[in-house]
Structures are given as C-alpha cells and as structure tokens.
Structure 1
C-alpha cells in the first residue's frame, strides 16, 4: 500500500478570490477567468509541495494572493516592487512603503474606469484629516516638496525666517537652501539651543520659526511655539514622517502625532503622506485656516494638485483611522511592521536562519538581536529592537551576494555588515519569508 506524505493545507480557490488583493482584479477581469487561473496556480503549488515535502513552507494566503495577482497582471518591470530588508520602515528616500489593501483597491477602482479629476475625493480626505487631527484646515498636494514650497512662499512673505535644525540636505533629507532660494525666503539656521536663542534675539523681526526633524530632540513643540510667539513669528513644524499614531505605544521611540503638534501650538505642520500616516506619497499641510487658505491660493498649489488616484488612496487610508484607530496595526502595512512584537521577530529569525544555513552555498546564517534604525530621515534616525539574520556565503563574497539579491526579479534590498549580508526583519513582511530563503539558495548556488 502506498502512503502519501502528510501535506500542509493549501487555501481554497474561494479564499484566494475573496482576498482584497485579488478582489480588485476579479472586478476588472472576470470571476470565472480568475478562478481558472487560480486553480492552475494552486495545482502548481500543490505539485511543488509534494516534490519538496518537508522542505517547503506554505506562504500565508496574503503572499499567495500577491503572487496570483502578479501572474494575472504580469510581472513588474524594472523599478517595481522590492523586498525591504534594511530594517528602515519609513523615511527611505529610494522607496516608498506599501499602501493598505483598501487604499490599493480604491486606486484600482478609480484607474479602471473613467473618473472625475479628484477634487471631491481630495476634499473628503481633507475633511477626514481635519476631524482626526483637530486642525482648523488641511490642504493636500501631490508631493511633499510642493507643500513645503507653498508654505514657505505664503507664510513668510519674503521676510527672514529661522530654521531650527541643520540646513544641509544630508542632515534632514531636505534641500533647505534650494527651497528657500526658489521661494524668496531669507533663511537663517540654528543647530542647538544656545544658537537658537541668540538668533531669535538678533536681526530683523522673523516671519516664521521652522523646526526640522533633527531639532526635535532639543526643541519640543511647546517650547518652539512659545519661542515663536515671543518673537512674533509663526511656528511651522516641518515633520515629514509624523502621523496619527505615536510609535511609543508599540515600544518604539516617541514621535509626536500631528494632533499633538497642533495642540502644542504649531501654526502649520507639514507632513508626507507616506510617513507614519501610512498613506500615499503626497504633501499635507495642517493648521490655521488663514494659512491654509493662503497656501491653497498660491499658483504652485494649483499646479501640484492631488490627482484622483492619490486622493482615493488618501481618503481610504484616513477612513481606516476614523473607523478603528486601534485596528490600523492590522490594516496599514507600516503599522503592521512597527507593531510586530520582538518575540515574533526572534522566532522568524531563528527559523529562517536554520533554513538559509542549509543552502549548500551558505557558510553560516546566524540570528542576531540588535537595534536597527526603523525611521531614517537624512542623518536623523530612530532605532529600536530588531532581529536580523547575518548570512555569510561559502565563497566569502558577501558583496556579490548582496548585489545578486538586489538584481533578482523581486529585488531584495539588504544591509551589509561585518562581511555578512543582513536581513533585518523589522521591515520584512512575513509573507516574504520563504522568498528570502529561495533567493539566497538561488544566489549562492
């Protein structure tokens, strides 16, 4: 009698078709067509499981849904999706965090049909964000640089302003010299408290006190607001990565929320939607109604208007916070990563290290507990507990391994440290765990 090995349970066709990643494709194509392709996809997966019994883990249904969608719509071209194994969840200049499934679905609904230009959705998103932050008014533009430029051009009125923080691009990731020169702003800077006090008491009256992200450790929101008021200036808080939830609630370093900054006295808060908000990359201005109205009337604001797809994603993301602010750790990818318990990261690191170490071309794969930068903006970074896998190939060519992983069909961007390639799991979704193993096996074969 022939005994079949015990095989792990695969999801059903129905489970795949009902997953949010696949649902949007079903609406655009045809349910029976997608069901046929899903059946073939599961048959191939079942064959792989049988052939590699005991050596192949069934990925989570979300990962399988993503693979099915790629098969239906085609593989991404160069510059497409990547796997971020750097540990940095928000703040990377070279790539943007993924959106929530409902935001992706909202964009697909807009993109798949004729649609209006986006003013209604933009206004709806701005209204939601007003309610969530307590701002008098909100303006959404299509990129952060435009939001910063419009704010400076309208709030400073060609008068001197003082920047608390580094003026060099590397310090904060912002080209302060360029943006001030283009908008007629005379900008002085102070990189520590003593210099700030001296600058506030010297020279012509200031139009605005701007605080960059790297100044937050030595200048609180309340203190900055008090100093600005005493100098008769506006307080503009330039906080690209601020959001609606404080990471401190999940055991990481504190980052004041947009509501906290406004409540402390900021006249204007400038944010990138792709930061801790977890929405699309865009520029958001929160603050006093008069300042927002002036910004909205600037010619650049009309040129940099939010498009319909961005508006759809921003509105869908803001609704997640409105409906269940505590539940965003399950629905918004950035918060799924940041809220992952360290114990879970450890379990994954230990399990993956043993699988990777079994590859013939790998000399060692060691799970390591360490602090990694989960937020990065220029030279300013916030670090927190993480687990990593240090991979050393048998040929000793760790740089070659790193380059091979980065050149894969689904690139894996990893760090290099002490002659090893480092997979830092804080920024890696569990659905990609098996893919990490497979790609290391391929790259070291």
Structure 2
C-alpha cells in the first residue's frame, strides 16, 4: 500500500514527495522520542520541522510580498518572490495529520507506532492524501494492523465513489463554468443579478466539489477496508454560523477545536479570552486555506459572527421564525465566499458593491441574468439546491427498504451504473477541472 501511495503521489509531484517523507519521518521519530521519555524534545522537533516546511512552502512568498510593500513605503525595493517555489500537493492536510498524531502521543491518548511503513502508509494513503479529509491516526490505527474487506463493504464504498463522482462532474463542474465566467469579468460589466448568479453558483460549486472529493475518499477507503469519518453534514441547512461549522469541513473544524481552541482555554476562560480564542482559531482557519488577505478576512469574518452569536445574536435568532436564521446564515456564508473566490481584496469589495446595488452598471454590460438562464444551468441549479438538503439519503433508504423487502436490488444498481455511465460521458468531453481544495 505504501509503494502504491508513493507512486500515486509522485506521478504528479515528482521529487516533492521527499518533502512529505521528511515530515512523516520527523513526526515518526518525534513520537518515538516522546515515548522514550524525551517528551518536550520530541514534540518540539516534530512541531518545528512540520510548521517550518508548511510556512516556507505556503507562506514565504506571501510574507516577502507584504514586507516588500512595507519597505516600499520608504523607497526600499527588493525581490519579493522566491523563484521556483511551488506548493507541494496536500501539504496542509498531511502536516495537520502528522501533527495530530504526535500531539496525541504526547498527550498519552495513543501509543507511538513502531513501524515506519505503517505510519507512512497512514499519512500517504492515496484516497485522502491530496485534499483530505484530515484523517486522524486514532480513527484508523487498528485498521492499519488488521482490517477486513468483504463484498458488502466494497459495494458500499463503490456506491459512495460513484455518487461523489456524479456530484463533482454533473453539479460542481457545471456550477464552476458559471462562476468562472462571472469572476473572470470586472464587476462593472455585470448586472447585480449576474453577480448574485455567479456567487450562488460558486457556493454550490465549492460545496459539491469538496464534499464530492470527501465522498470519493470515504468510498475508496471503504473499498480498501478503512472507515473514514464524515466530513460534511449538509452545511447549507444550518441556522447559525456555529451550526454551519459543525457541518462544514468537519475534520478541519474539529482539528482546530481539539488542537488549538481547547489548548488556548476554549470555553473554560473568561468571556473576553473566549472571544480572543475564537478570533485566533478563525484567523488560523483562514490562513490555513491560503496565503492571501482574502482568506484571512474570510476567516475573521466567520469568527466575528461566531462572537456576535455568543454575545446576543443566537438568542435573538432563537426568538424569531426559524427560516430567518437559515436566511441569515446563508447570507453570511455567501458573502464570505466572495472573499474566498475573488483573486484579490479590491475585486472582492467591488463585487460586493455590485451585489448590493452600490455601484453603477457600465454602459457596456457583458453579463446579465438572461445570459446564464438555459436548460442545463436551470436543471443543475435545481439539483444543487435540492441535494443541499438531506433528501437523497431519505429516498435512498426508502428505496433500499422496499428493494430488500422484495429481494429486488437490481433497479437501484442499474441506476448507479447508469449514473456512472453518465459521469464517464461528462469526463470524456469535459476540460480539465481539478478539485478546488487541491490548491490548499
């Protein structure tokens, strides 16, 4: 399995695989040092090397660029980019996985794995390596030593893989075409309606794109005998930002909760310290997603609304008609996605002005609402809206109940195979459209 993982990763990353194995080896050694009694030394070694690698490859150019802007105010100029520095695929994910393992060993929650092969296979496991979810060692440690693959598990995994592929190819990629077209244009050349269509399309794209990858990872892992935890739980039905983060990218939000928020004091401190902790966590959440002020603002914005909910907003929402809380949550999330999608901060602010009718339209409008209204976008948009709610599991379970009662599973599996065939047709004609979270 380890050899296959290395071949898979090296196929696109070549020698950068050495960066991943350096991180793996240091954390493996650090955990062994901890168990031998050198607790602080082992933790420091793993933390220092892991964070240094992450910051160098992901944030060095961002730091240099901002330093260059500051020094530029005083007439000092220097090269603000390290030439040839590329972000290794999956570094944010495998860094957090290795660190969670070492920290858990330090806390005494798990025993250090003496086998480098087993530990390296866990970190580099190809289903989750490049875009998550963040799989903790404690969740699959027993399966590294002994796991069972049978026809039922394999079929469940294959079913999940097909459904994930369908979400990506049919819904996410169609929404991506609309979002990319809108965000490739200056806001002055679109109407407010087109701006809303663009950001709603992106909201559907990022959910169905990332949840599709998580579905595929969970399905592939199941086919190999591993049981990954769920990473999404219908986040767009949330009725508060707190509820949203219980449902969105669960593996990341729980990682920050367990390894940053709680160690900072969590809810056990004074109110002011608790609010500080929330801002630190969501500053880190934004920064984790990318070296850009847009991501930092996106994270701090979510932190700000979480603090507001704890102060007064949640109590106020609980007294109102429930759909109002849902509308408020969607509005905050959609505004946040503008910062997430925009190339830079000025574009994000101009786009928000256009959304809320605060800027005038150019005489030469390129995109209006009618430009995006066609049969495909309407159907896919409705599918995206429908499957953002937990309707599919309901009908899936009802169908399986009827099928099992009558011993007829054939129609359901014919539907799955037909769906796979449709996905293959999309793959054969679609242009290259990678998963969004590859860039993180």
User: Which TM-score bucket, shorter chain as reference?
Assistant: under 0.3
Larger Cα-atom Rg:
1
Q: TM-score, normalised to structure 2's length?
A: 0.21
Q: TM-score, normalised to structure 1's length?
A: 0.21
More contact order relative to length (CA 8 Å, sep ≥ 6): 1
More strand by share: 1
